[in-house]
Structure 1
C-alpha cells in the first residue's frame, strides 16, 4: 500500500514539474508576442518597480521627458515616501508640423526622432544631494536616457545620484548597455501599444 502511494506521489510530482515547464514556456511565448500593455499592466509595473527602487533609494524628484512618461511616473510616485515632485519635459516629434516652442529656460536634448526640453528649474535639486529618478514609458535604443543623464551631469548633478526607469525596454537597448537601471517589460521592437497609443 505504501509503495503504491509512493509511486503515485512520484507520478503526480513528475506531472506537476512537466506542466509547470509547459505553462512557463507558453507564458513566455505569449509575452513575447504581446502587442498591447493595458492599465492593469501599468499598475502592476508601477507596483513592482517602485518596490525595487525603494529597496535601493528614495528619489527626491522624478524627471520625465513628456506626457507619456509622466503618465507612468504619476503611477510610480504614489508608492514613494512623500510623493516626490515630477518635472515634466516638453517632447516634440521632429516630423511634426508645429514648432517645438524652444525656450532658453530648459535643458534641450535632441535625438533622431525627438526634441525634448526639461525644465531648467530641475537644477535647483543639485543642492539637495538626493537621488533623482528619470522615468519614461519606453526605452527603444536607450540613447535619450544616456543623453539626459549626460546633460544632468553637465548641469552639476553627481552621476551616482542619477537613476533611470522605464516601463518597457528593447533587447537592443539592453544589448548595447543603454537600458534604464530599472524596467518592467522587454519588447522585441516598437510594434506594440500603450493605453495612450503606439510605442515610439
Structure 2
C-alpha cells in the first residue's frame, strides 16, 4: 500500500558529521501515509511505525540504511468499513501478518556532492509474508527551526507505489484499485 512522492534533499554542510549516525524516530511527529482508490475516488490512510532502525552516513550516503516495521493492526483509512476491509484476511490479514517491514538494501543520492538533488532507496518490502524488491524516492531536510549546519534533527519524505496484488492482498479488487501510493513524512533525531 505504498506510493512515495519524489522530493528534494535539502541538506547543508556535511563536514561536521564524519561517520554513520544512528537516528531515533520521532513517532509522534511522523506519519506513514498511503493513498488508495476506492470506487474511483482517492482516499488517504495511515499506519503507525512499530519500530525503526535508521542509520545515516552524511559523508558516504550509500552507507546509510533503514529497517522499519509498521503496525498493520492500527492502520486507519478514514472510513470504518474500509479500515476493517484493509485488515481482513483477503487484504493485509492483520491477524496472521500484523506487521509490514521495509529493509533497505541500497541508498543512492542523485548527486553525492549535493543531497538537495534527491535520491532513491532500494529495499525489500514484506507485506502479508511476501517479500518483494521496491525502489522508493527519498528526500531529507534539516528540520524547520534548526540552526544552519545542525543535522541532529532531520525530516524525510519518502514516496513510491506498489501493487497490492504482488503481495497477495487481492481482496475487494472490484472496488479498490491495485496500485497503492505511499507518502511517508518522518522526523528523526540523532540518538545519544
Under a length normalisation based on structure 1, what TM-score does the superposition of the two structures give? Answer: 0.27
More helix by share: 1
More strand by share: 2
Return the index of the structure with the highest Cα Rg: 1
Under a length normalisation based on structure 2, what TM-score does the superposition of the two structures give? Answer: 0.28
